[in-house]
Amino acid sequence: MTIKKEDLRKIWSEVKLNRAKLMSCPGPHKFTIDTTPDKKLGKRWKCELCHGVIDSINKEWYELGLKHAS
């Protein structure tokens, strides 16, 4: 499978925008919005505050880090 350059640029632009949202969040993140409600695996979660999106594995580690830090 080959990805067209314009598709790759669009994906990369979306990745950079998402990272900027996550990095500018006043925090702590609140990943409570399920953006993939029909999925059991490969879920994605959106932060209520910054609207950045992460996958369920990163969500679990982030929340564990918050728990350990408290």
| The dihedral sign for the CA sequence 63, 68, 23, 58 | negative
Walk along the chain (70 residues) and give the pLDDT tens digit of each residue.
799 999 999 999 999 999 999 999 999 999 999 999 999 999 999 999 999 999 999 999 999 999 999 9
pLDDT value at position 62?
A: 98
Q: How far is CA 20 from the centre of its chain?
A: 11
Identify the three-state secondary structure at position 43.
Answer: coil
